[in-house]
Amino acid sequence: MSKYDYLIVGGGLYGSTFAYKARQNGKKCLVIDRRTHLGGNIYCEKVEDINVHKYGAHIFHTSDKKIWDFVNSIVEFNRYTNSPVANYKGRLYNLPFNMNTFYQMWGVTTPELALSKIEEQKFEAVTWMKNKGIAVPRNLEEQALALIGRDMYETLVKGYTEKQWGRKCTELPAFIIRRIPVRFTFDNNYFNDPYQGIPKGGYNKLIDGLLFDIETKVNTDFLINRDYFKSIAETIVYTGPIDEYYDYCFGKLEYRTVSFENEVLECSNYQGNAVINYTEREVPYTRVIEHKHFEMFGSDIDKCPKTVITREYSTEWKEGLEPYYPLNDERNTLLYKKYKELAENENDIIFGGRLAEYKYYDMAPIIKAVFNYWK
């Protein structure tokens, strides 16, 4: 008989939540991870008594009260509200696009004036396309111009998007930006979800709670010794790259990746906000994260005399780097379908999570996917 009901490959949010639900159902699990730590990309490092999001900023948000109540049953979440700011050539704009943004852009003070300005610029863009014989936007640039007009596009979308994807907007497919949220209220809350926040004490507390009393091993690579690991468990839960599992037999899936440049500063408050996007193409990084603002508010900010910032650089993925964002273009979509067909023929393995399913996942949908399995 196998020693474990489930061998879970990857101790990120999907694997940890799966282990938690399996244990609730009386199953015995082993969670392994080839990194030196558990938690996957939500892992935090303590620097100067500040929880630094090692693999990029993560803000939990959901409209599902069941999911919100679940994570808060593991660790209490704070009241952090994501309100990013855009910096374009030294001028600051609130995000998402709202009345504050429109006032900063054009000086308009009412929804009627803002809507009129946007419609005017959208009309100019659509008229230009019609004169060129373009019935449907052919690329991201044309799509964005038809949605929000030239001022908003060139100031807040173009440079950031080209840095993020490493390609000109005219070379990116239109579907990437089919809709752009536009609000005619003075509301800087980025998410529409009613529930959002950060675990008090950082995401490691969430992972520790999910994996409480469950056997785990780090520095352990499933693929190096897969025959052994398959022999000790009834079912494998695999959260790594699906193409790597199949030894890239059809070729490698493509991703964008992110590199991080951390700096400890001798001040209590560097930029006054957790997230500032740099939308100018000539600035090499996409955004600067100041981590203390995720968990410290008001006078608590000054009680910590130092701060930690992270500059994020978007780059093309290559072997040895962490894969972050799937390139869901036609080539990669067709390639993933081939791997998915192989996976669907497996009887004793579950593929789950962003790498195994080759899709971008927010945190709440990951938990929901695990819940759906254990219905």
- Please name the amino acid found at residue 16: S
Strand partners, 288: 276, 311
What is the distance between the alpha carbons of residues 119 and 335, in angstroms, rounded to a whole number?
40
Tokens of 37: 């730590």
| SS3 (DSSP) at 120 | helix
Dihedral sign for Cα 177, 189, 154, 107, please: positive
Are the C-beta atoms of residues 195 and 71 closer than 8 Å to each other?
Answer: no
Are the C-beta atoms of residues 75 and 199 closer than 8 Å to each other?
Answer: yes
Cα distances from 163 to residues 282, 330, 333, 364, in angstroms, run 9, 21, 22, 27
What is the distance between the alpha carbons of residues 295 and 79, in angstroms, rounded to a whole number?
9
In which element (H, E) is residue 215 found?
Answer: strand 215-217
The set of catalytic residues is: 179, 183, 256, 287, 312, 360, 362
Q: Which residues contact 38 (CB under 8 A, 6 or more apart)?
A: 11, 16, 31, 207, 211, 216, 218
| SS3 (DSSP) at 154 | helix
Are the C-beta atoms of residues 6 and 233 closer than 8 Å to each other?
Answer: yes
Are the C-beta atoms of residues 311 and 260 closer than 8 Å to each other?
Answer: yes
